[in-house]
Amino acid sequence: MVVLPKHITVLPVCYRHSILFGLGVTSELELPLRQSFGPAQVEVVFGHVVAEGVLLFQTDDPHQFACYQQGHAVIVVWSGIRFEVAPERVVVDAEDHDTAAHLLVSAVWSVVLAAHQRESLHGSAVEHKGHTVAILGASGSGKSTAAHALIKRGWRLVSDDLLTFDADLRVVPGPPWMRFLPSHGDAWSGTPDAGGKVRVQPPVSSHPAPIAAIVIMAPEHQRCVRLSGTSAAAALLQQVYNPLLTHPGQVHRRFDLVHALVDRIPIYGAAPRSLSVDQLVRISQETIA
């Protein structure tokens, strides 16, 4: 056994550097992301988080979710797991590290992005020859399934579930996986992750790509139709990833993002799970042309 001198302290800390939605991250919490190098904008550390402050939102079972404003920080709470979110630091207070990591890379990170004045939408985005098609919709609308069908045609994943954009309205790459509810007898079998879904790792695009078209899958659309003006803006606003307002200026930033997308990108509405791969390819070809 090696005996260390008394003046040497061994710290049980392992920092890992990753990129998450365009932000450099160093983390004590092990994240299911590829390690990388470069400057870090956000530090993830373990610590004690108190669930108190100005209550912004709260739900009952089964999720037991709450969100508080505490000075310049936002406290995000699930049962047994708490996060204190500031622009440059996220404090994690949890015994279940797998679930904490699952929550951090999506739900909590939407709050981090808001702290960095970046809004996000709920959808999947895939890329082909430098152009991206974004498919938005509520959980269960078939957006990930449609995106995966395009990937089978040679497209590459840009981001699944949470979409955020750079200053040029290009979709920023997210984690290199897609997630599906497990089912028997098809490709979505396997061991579910902490969020209860099976992860699939398709070919990915590692660079931001301009959007060729946005398709919104929602039940109010009876058929595939091109949206414009206020109807397109209203449909996009329904697809904000995190509807909570946690930071100053979010309302204006959301309207600015939506108006910029409507002005520059073709927006389509379609019923959930209604579009074939050929229809999606046709939409992309028409808008790229």
pLDDT of residue 13: 55
CA distances from 89 to 22, 50, 75, 86, 272 (A): 16, 16, 12, 5, 38
Domain count, the chain: 2
Residue 61 has pLDDT above 70, yes or no: no
Within-domain flag for 6: no
Q: Which domain holds residue 222?
A: 120-288
Tokens of 57: 């939102």
Q: Which of 115, 131, 154 is the last residue of a domain?
A: 115
Within-domain flag for 3: no
| pLDDT mean over 36-55 | 94
42 lies in the same domain as 130: no
What whole-number distance in Å separates Cα of residue 6 and Cα of residue 1? 15
263 lies in the same domain as 171: yes
pLDDT of residue 284: 84
Within-domain flag for 60: yes
Distance of CA 93 to the CA centre of its chain: 21
Within-domain flag for 137: yes
220 lies in the same domain as 256: yes
Q: Per 3-state DSSP, what percentage of the chain is helix, strand, and coil (rounded to 5)?
A: 20, 35, 45
161 lies in the same domain as 270: yes
Is the CB of residue 188 less than 8 Å from the CB of residue 200?
yes
Confidence of residue 4 (pLDDT cuts 50, 70, 90): very low
Write the DSSP symbol of residue 4: P
145 lies in the same domain as 269: yes
101 lies in the same domain as 170: no
Q: Which of 92, 115, 138 is the last residue of a domain?
A: 115
Confidence of residue 85 (pLDDT cuts 50, 70, 90): very high
128 lies in the same domain as 208: yes
Q: What is the pTM of this model?
A: 0.90
pLDDT of residue 64: 86
Residue 255 has pLDDT above 70, yes or no: yes
126 lies in the same domain as 187: yes
Within-domain flag for 174: yes
Lowest mean pLDDT among 8-17, 141-150, 212-221: 8-17
| pLDDT mean over 124-153 | 92
Lowest mean pLDDT among 36-40, 89-93, 155-159, 239-243: 36-40
Q: Which of 72, 100, 115 is the last residue of a domain?
A: 115
Residue 3 has pLDDT above 90, yes or no: no
pLDDT of residue 11: 42
| pLDDT mean over 122-139 | 93
% of residues, the chain, pLDDT over 90: 74
pLDDT of residue 5: 47
pLDDT of residue 38: 81
143 lies in the same domain as 271: yes
Within-domain flag for 5: no
pLDDT of residue 1: 45
| pLDDT mean over 267-285 | 91
| pLDDT mean over 27-52 | 93
Determine the length of the chain.
Answer: 289
% of residues, the chain, pLDDT over 70: 91
pLDDT of residue 9: 40
55 lies in the same domain as 73: yes
pLDDT of residue 191: 78
Q: Say what the alpha-carbon torsion angle 223, 238, 22, 133 is, to the nearest 10 degrees.
A: 10
Q: Looking at residue 152, which CATH number applies to its domain?
A: 3.40.50
CA end-to-end span of the chain? 69
pLDDT of residue 52: 95
167 lies in the same domain as 88: no
Within-domain flag for 48: yes
What whole-number distance in Å separates Cα of residue 134 and Cα of residue 208? 13
What whole-number distance in Å separates Cα of residue 227 and Cα of residue 31? 38
Residue 168 has pLDDT above 60, yes or no: yes
- The torsion angles phi and psi of 128, rounded to 5 degrees, stand at -145, 120
91 lies in the same domain as 221: no
The mean of the pLDDT values for the chain is 90
- Buried/exposed 60-70: b ≥16 CB within 10 Å, e otherwise: eeeeeebbbeb
Within-domain flag for 11: no
